[in-house]
Amino acid sequence: MSQQVINFGGGPAKLPEEVLLEVQQQLVHYADTGISVMELSHRSADYDKINNGAQRMLRELLNIPDNYKVLFLQGGGTGLFAAVALNLLSRTGTADYLVTGTWSSKAAAEAAKYGKVNLVLPKTNKFLEIPNSSTWNLDPNASYVYYCANETINGVEFHDIPDTKGVPLVCDMSSNFLSRPVDVSKLEKKKSYEGHIRKPCSQHQARIYVTSRVFEWIKRNGGVLQMEKNAIEKSNTIYSIIESSGGFYSCPVKKDSRSRMNVPFRIGGENGNEALEKEFLNGAQKLGMLQLKGHSFVIGHLLDQLSHFTAKYFFYFCEGGVCILHCVMQKSCLKYIYICYAGFI
């Protein structure tokens, strides 16, 4: 790892170093075209190759059935909140929303501008779990059921695809996409989308290019099944530290709804101790761990031996990345543990 900092940003998030280096090269001269990938016409055969390659790779990674279209769209996740409702809500005029955190709340609020939104789960502002599906208030007349597979801020993740009893299903996978296999055939496919969405236009192609490089990287590194294993291993490492910290760290989310992608936790008790949390974040910042606050935590490997280390720094080289571990010792007990995983996802 050549970088001295590690980016924990929830999105835009870390890219694999290999990909960054490849993109850096192609940014000046793409393949044998003599021009930058950013200068390629979005109508050129060279760009078609990039776009088709990205589509093919995604189909392969997720085993997407042939009767599903893949569309690369602009507008980010937030743009899609309106696009989903505008395209799909008019079928019956009502839609079911499983609100499990900040992002699905925003999606439901956006959809309410265009039709009726039925809240499938009891209204709350504390997002700590996914209630058992036997308690869900699903409307058989809904145009679709919407859920967010991983709530990036709240750390609440679905570990199964909801059974909607035949009602079309729409899923926001912004922050756990390609971190686990998904049975795409359970998700909505809607021909009417095609009529509403135009082909990519010019600002778009460099992003698709970078995305295609990340898809290739995932394939080279074992595909979605390996990404899932990594996510389980990394998140379990952090959750077990939290659980065995005697209450020093606490994660509010119920165990069966915990995210493998982002682990929210407080330091110094259930409601947190702001002074300790500030100290933790300052220490992390000094170690080059950036953007930890607000979102948390990507994670390391192999920490069961932790208690044997008294050194301030410990570098552990592992496949696909480097973990840097920093233990601050205070009065002979472990105070903070900083763990980074420099690989992607």
318 three-state secondary structure: strand
Binding letters toward ligand PMP, positions 8-47, x by CB under 6 A: --xx------------------------------------
- The string of DSSP codes covering 103-121 is HHHHHHHHHTTTSEEEESS
Among the listed ranges 1-9, 43-51, 75-83, 250-258, the one in contact with ligand PMP (CB under 6 A) is: 75-83
Binding status of residue 185 toward ligand PMP by CB under 6 A = no
Among the listed ranges 25-33, 70-78, 198-206, 325-333, the one in contact with ligand PMP (CB under 6 A) is: 70-78
The binder of ligand PMP chosen from 77, 115, 252, 320 (CB under 6 A): 77
Angle at 136 between CA 130 and CA 140, to 5 degrees: 135
Binding status of residue 259 toward ligand PMP by CB under 6 A = no
Place of tokens 């294993």: 229
Positions of E strands within the chain: 6-7, 94-98, 116-119, 145-148, 150-151, 156-157, 169-172, 249-250, 266-267, 289-290, 313-318, 321-330, 333-341
52 three-state secondary structure: helix
Displacement of CA 137 from its chain's centroid (Å): 27
CA-to-CA separations, 61 to 11, 121, 210, in angstroms, rounded: 21, 32, 16
The binder of ligand PMP chosen from 9, 65, 76, 247 (CB under 6 A): 76
Closest CB to ligand PMP among 172 and 188?
172
Binding status of residue 179 toward ligand PMP by CB under 6 A = no
Binding status of residue 294 toward ligand PMP by CB under 6 A = no
Minimum CB–partner distance for residue 207 and ligand PMP (Å): 12
Contact predicate 327/212, CB 8 Å = no
Binding status of residue 74 toward ligand PMP by CB under 6 A = no
Binding status of residue 115 toward ligand PMP by CB under 6 A = no
Binding status of residue 103 toward ligand PMP by CB under 6 A = yes
CA-to-CA separations, 224 to 73, 157, 162, 316, in angstroms, rounded: 22, 17, 20, 24
Which residues ranging from 123 to 162 are in contact with ligand PMP (CB under 6 A)?
148, 152
Binding status of residue 172 toward ligand PMP by CB under 6 A = yes
The binder of ligand PMP chosen from 174, 235, 237, 257 (CB under 6 A): 174
Binding status of residue 83 toward ligand PMP by CB under 6 A = no
Binding status of residue 263 toward ligand PMP by CB under 6 A = no
Contact predicate 159/179, CB 8 Å = no
Closest CB to ligand PMP among 11 and 140?
11
Size of the site for ligand PMP (CB under 6 A): 11
Strands 321-330 and 333-341: antiparallel
Cis peptide before 264, with omega less than 30 degrees from 0? no
Q: Which residues of 166-194 are buried (b: 16+ CB within 10 A; e: fewer)?
A: ebbbbbbbbbbbbbbebebeebbebeebe
Minimum CB–partner distance for residue 158 and ligand PMP (Å): 12
Among the listed ranges 29-37, 74-82, 203-211, 326-334, the one in contact with ligand PMP (CB under 6 A) is: 74-82
Residues of this chain that bind ligand PMP (CB under 6 A): 10-11, 76-78, 103, 148, 152, 172, 174-175
